[in-house]
Amino acid sequence: MPAVLFHSLNESPVEWGAALKERIPDLDFRVWPDVGDPKDIEFALLWALPPGSLVSMSNLRCICSLGQGVDHVFLDPDLPPGAKIMRLVDPWMARAMSEWMLLNILRFHRQGLEYQELERQRLWKVLPAPETSERRVGVLGLGALGGDTASKVAALGFDVAGWSRTRKLIGSVESFHGEDQLEAFLNRTDILCCLLPLTPDTAGIIHVDTLAALPKGAFVINAGRGQHVVDEDLLAALDSGHIAGAALDVFHQEPLPPEHPFWAHPKVQVWPHVSAQSNADSAAAQVTDAIVKVFAGLDPNNLVDRERQY
């Protein structure tokens, strides 16, 4: 039987190996860097493998991201041209992401930052109650994660819109699409949630001009990738008061270096890339299905377009 190669920064090869062998008992499961003969490897299940590591795997037929994002795969300029690229699309992760987005949206909506400051000053003060239907939430990216978040936020009565490459029909969620409609989408967004994939088209999308297009007092929540945000522009917008607060789960450099200004900024909450974590319990079944299909010469589900890079 051909072999599967595994590489991860955080996830346990022992757990993944056990979960896959429970389903395919004779699986030849190899953990980086113990590759053996690279020609044996037909399926690679990986996260952030050092670029250039796959070049000797001449029989590699499928690279499966150990997460929903695939930007880490495209950092390798020497991807074997014949290998298909796929990713996890995990309902468990969509639920986790929507929970995290809701947590932050509700905290901003219910004046969590203001009451936190009043508490710090030991001030018992009642602010005017916010109106849910008047709070405009905007979700950048309406795919597996953004679509779930947008529909759950809309179900709570918020005024929700989303922005994607192509038009979407998701219940009451207003659909904006394409470059031409980005500004109008931003103009009507009080709480911006980023769930875009990182591609050459989306890198740096949250910058001085897009931040300025949001209404004064808007909030920014990012769980896409750190590279979607120009950090200096967000910091300047927070310091000027144009942006009232930010919740960030992803960063240019992870772990976020101790000296980074986000850590100490009173209007920023830093999370250590945990909004939706992949795990063997929920995702092993779909990876098994992919391995079986690839070894049988078939295409797996959840393939990624090499041109679009998502």
- Bridge partners of 192, per DSSP, are 138, 220
Torsion of CA 31, 14, 223, 274, to 10 degrees: -140
Separation between Cα atoms, residue 211 and residue 305, nearest integer Å: 29
DSSP SS3 for 61: coil
Identified binder of ligand NDP from the candidate list 60, 62, 145, 211, rule CB under 6 A: 145
| Active-site choice (23, 95, 188, 273) | 273
Query: With CB cut-offs between 5 and 8 Å by kind, which of ligand OXD, ligand NDP, none does residue 300 bind?
Result: none
| 67 counts as binding ligand NDP under rule CB under 6 A | yes
- As to burial, measured by CB atoms within 10 angstroms (0-12 exposed, 13-18 middle, 19+ buried), residue 112 is middle
Work out which of 44, 83, 160, 195 binds ligand NDP, going by CB under 6 A: 195
Task: Measure the CA–CA gap between 174 and 171, rounded to whole angstroms.
Answer: 8
Nearest one of 244, 203, 196 to 220, comparing CA atoms: 244
In the complex, least distance from residue 142 CB atom to ligand NDP, rounded to whole angstroms:
4
Interaction residues for ligand OXD, span 58-77 (CB under 6 A): 67-69
**263, containing H or E segment:** helix 261-264
Q: Is 225 a catalytic residue?
A: yes
Q: Which two tokens stand for residue 126?
A: 């009642």
Question: What does 41 interact with, of ligand NDP, ligand OXD, none (CB < 5 to 8 A by kind)?
Answer: none
Contact partner, 196, from ligand OXD, ligand NDP, none, Cβ < 5-8 Å per class: ligand NDP
**Catalytic pick among 61, 87, 225, 228:** 225
Report the interface residues with ligand NDP, using CB under 6 A. 67-69, 93, 141-146, 163-166, 195-199, 201-202, 223-225, 249-250, 273, 275-276, 310
Residues acting as catalytic residues: 225, 273
